[in-house]
Structure 1
């Protein structure tokens, strides 16, 4: 199926366009730490996603857990 990786491809495209292309990393470790921070501090907490109704993943997860409680 051609759309199996669409979500992952979109995420990595956004990661590169919004973050990686604006950075210069001296080591792989430095890149890994910076990308982890970007994902945890921005992508999961602040950045809205259309597939989640234009809210951030952490907010969406909290909304789901509140609805099931």
Structure 2
């Protein structure tokens, strides 16, 4: 079943690639790389992060760890 990657392809087209007129492979490569590294993996909300962005989720986890360390002593 490849539903997961098909869903990703639909997202990248809908949220990013349809905004640009892509002239060549290099431009497409840069656009895909930019989308994944600067938006999808950092800013976009994800269901597995309780519908938070990965950055926000990691900040929440880091704060939790700090509080746990303070309580532990």
TM-score of the aligned structures, taking structure 1 as reference length:
0.70
**For structure 1, which runs of at least 5 residues remain unmatched after alignment?**
none
**For structure 2, which runs of at least 5 residues remain unmatched after alignment?**
66-73
Superposed CA RMSD in Å reads 2.2
Detail structure 1 runs of 4+ shifted over 6 Å in the superposition: none
2:22, 2:28 within 8 Å by CA — same for their partners in 1? yes
Give the drift of 1:59.
5.4
- Which protein is richer in helix relative to its size? 2
TM-score of the aligned structures, taking structure 2 as reference length:
0.67
Number of residue-to-residue matches in the alignment: 62
Pick which of 46-55 and 32-41 moved more: 46-55
Give the drift of 1:53.
1.6
